[in-house]
Structure 1
Amino acid sequence: MRRFLRDNSLGLVFGLLFLAALVGQAFAGHADFNQQQLTEGLQPVSFGRYVTSASFAVDVTENWQSEYLQFFLYIFLTVWLLQRGSPESKELDKAGRESDQDQLVGAHATDTSPAWARVGGLRQALFSHSLGLVMGAIFLLSWLSQSITGVAAYNEQQLGNLQDPVSWGQYLRQPDFWNRTLQNWQSELLAVTSMVVLSIYLRQRGSSQSKPVGAAHTATGVEG
C-alpha cells in the first residue's frame, strides 16, 4: 500500500484536492444561493435540492469545459508550435509529428511499448492521437452539459421574473451563455500563457514543469 501511494501520489493528491474543492463549492454555493433567495423574498432550499439543481450543475460544468479546452488546445498546438527557452515546448528542431523512430511506433516499438503502438493501421492512428481526442471529447461533452444546465437555470430566472422561457437554441445566442463561457476561457488561456513564458526565466527546483535551476534561459524542452 505504501508503494502504491508513493507511485500514484500526484494523481491521488490532486483527486482529493478536487473533491475537497467541489464539496467546498457546494457548501459555499448553497449559502450564496439561499442569500439570494431571501433577498428576493423566496424560501431557502435544502442542501440536497441545491446540489441537484441546474444552478449548481452549470457552475460546475462551465469550469470543467474551460479546463479541458485548455488541455485540448495545448496538446494539439504543442505538436507544431514552439517557445524558445520554455520547458513546456518541445526542442526547437522537433516541431511536427516526429519520426516513427522518435515515437517508438511500428518497427521501432520496444518490448514495453503499448500493443497498439506496435501495430499499424487504424489502431495505431487512434492511439497516436488518443490523448487529444479524449480531451476534446470531454470538452465538448462538458460544454454541452453547461449549455443544457445553463438554459434550465436561465429559465428558472426567467419564470421567477415573470418572463417567457427560451429554448436551448435561443439560449446559445444569449449573452448569459457566452459570458459564462468566455470568462472561463480567457482565464485558462492566460494561465497557459503565463506558464509557458514565465518558465523561460523562473525555476522551481525538482519540478518536472521547470528547467533545472542552472539551465540557460534559452534551453528549450528541458525539464529538471
Structure 2
Amino acid sequence: MKHNPLVTNGLSIAFGLLFLASLIGQAFSGLAYFNEQQVSANLEEISFLQYVTSSTFAVDVTENWQSEYLQFLLFIVLTVWLVQRGSPESKEIERRGAESDEDQLIGRHAKPESPAWARAGGLKTALYSNSLGLVMGTVFVLSWLAQSVTGFSAYAADQLTNLQDPGTWGEYLGSAEFWNRTLQNWQSEFLAVLSMVILSVYLRQRGSPESKPVGAPHGETSVEG
C-alpha cells in the first residue's frame, strides 16, 4: 500500500518546521533584546541582517546545538552498554553490548534489502556500524568549536566596548564566561534524558513509541507502545 510522502515523513517535516519557526522567532526576539541593550547604552540600533550575521546571534544558536548533539551522542553510545530496567529507552538487559553479527544483520546475515555497507564487511561495515555516533560526534565538535569562536568574538566585542583587554581565544576557553554558557546547557540536556529514562518506567503515553503499552508492567524493559 502506497502512502502519501507527507504521512510517511510527517515526523521529520513537523520538527523541521518547528525548528525553522523557533529559529526565526529567536532571531526576531534576540534582535529586539539586543537593540534594547543598545538603546540603554546610548548606542546605535542594528538591522535584522546585521544581527543574524553577528557573533552574538551565532553563539546563542551554536551553544544550544552543541549541547543537543552531545546529549544524543552520549545517549546513542552509552545505551550500547548501559541499561535501565523497565524503560523503553533501554534495550533488554541481556542484550548489553555491541551484539552479534547475526543480531545486527551484518555480513552474511544481511537481508537483500539491507544497506550495501552492512554486507560489504571490513572497514566499510565497521564505519557504517558506528556512523550514527560518528556523525553526531562530528557535529557536536564542530558546533562546540563554532560556539567557542563566536562566543569569544562576542565576548571580545563587549570587553573592547568597556575598554578592557579581551585576551586570547585560548584564554577564553578556560574562562568562567565560556564554561558558564556551556555547562548551563549541558546540565539541562542531561536532566531531560534522565527524566525521560526514569519517568518512562512508570508513566505511559498511549500510542507513542517512546512509551511502553499502557498495560505493560513497570519492570518490562525495551518494549514500545
How high is the TM-score relative to the length of structure 2?
Answer: 0.98
* Residue of structure 2 equivalent to 1:67: 68
Secondary structure at the aligned position of 2:92 is classed as coil
| Cα offset, 1:164, TM superposition | 1.4
Q: What letter is aligned with 1:70?
A: Q
CA distance in 2, matches of 1:166, 1:134: 33
Percent identity of the aligned residues? 67
CA contact (8 A) 1:151 1:166 kept: no
Secondary structure at the aligned position of 2:218 is classed as coil
Q: Which runs of 5+ in 2 are unaligned?
A: none
Tell me the alpha carbon deviations over residues 170-195 of structure 1, each in whole angstroms, 9 at most, x when there is no partner. Answer: 11011110000000000000000000
Q: What letter is aligned with 1:82?
A: V
Q: 1:34-113, aligned counterparts within 5 Å? A: 34-113=35-114
Moved over 6 A (4+): none
| Cα offset, 1:2, TM superposition | 7.1
- The reply to whether residue 197 of structure 1 matches residue 198 of structure 2 is yes
Q: What letter is aligned with 2:173?
A: L
Secondary structure at the aligned position of 1:93 is classed as helix
Equivalent residue pairs, number: 224
| Cα offset, 1:165, TM superposition | 2.0
Tell me the alpha carbon deviations over residues 37-76 of structure 1, each in whole angstroms, 9 at most, x when there is no partner. Answer: 1111111111110110000000000000000000000000
CA distance in 2, matches of 1:17, 1:223: 25
Q: What letter is aligned with 1:146?
A: Q
CA distance in 1, matches of 2:3, 2:39: 50
* Residue of structure 2 equivalent to 1:29: 30
Q: Which runs of 5+ in 1 are unaligned?
A: none
Once superposed, what is the RMSD of the aligned Cα atoms?
A: 1.0
* Residue of structure 1 equivalent to 2:21: 20
CA distance in 2, matches of 1:105, 1:49: 51
How high is the TM-score relative to the length of structure 1?
Answer: 0.99
CA contact (8 A) 1:85 1:221 kept: yes
Tell me the alpha carbon deviations over residues 109-167 of structure 1, each in whole angstroms, 9 at most, x when there is no partner. Answer: 00111000011100000000000010000000000000000000000100110111221
| Cα offset, 1:24, TM superposition | 0.3
CA distance in 2, matches of 1:165, 1:25: 27
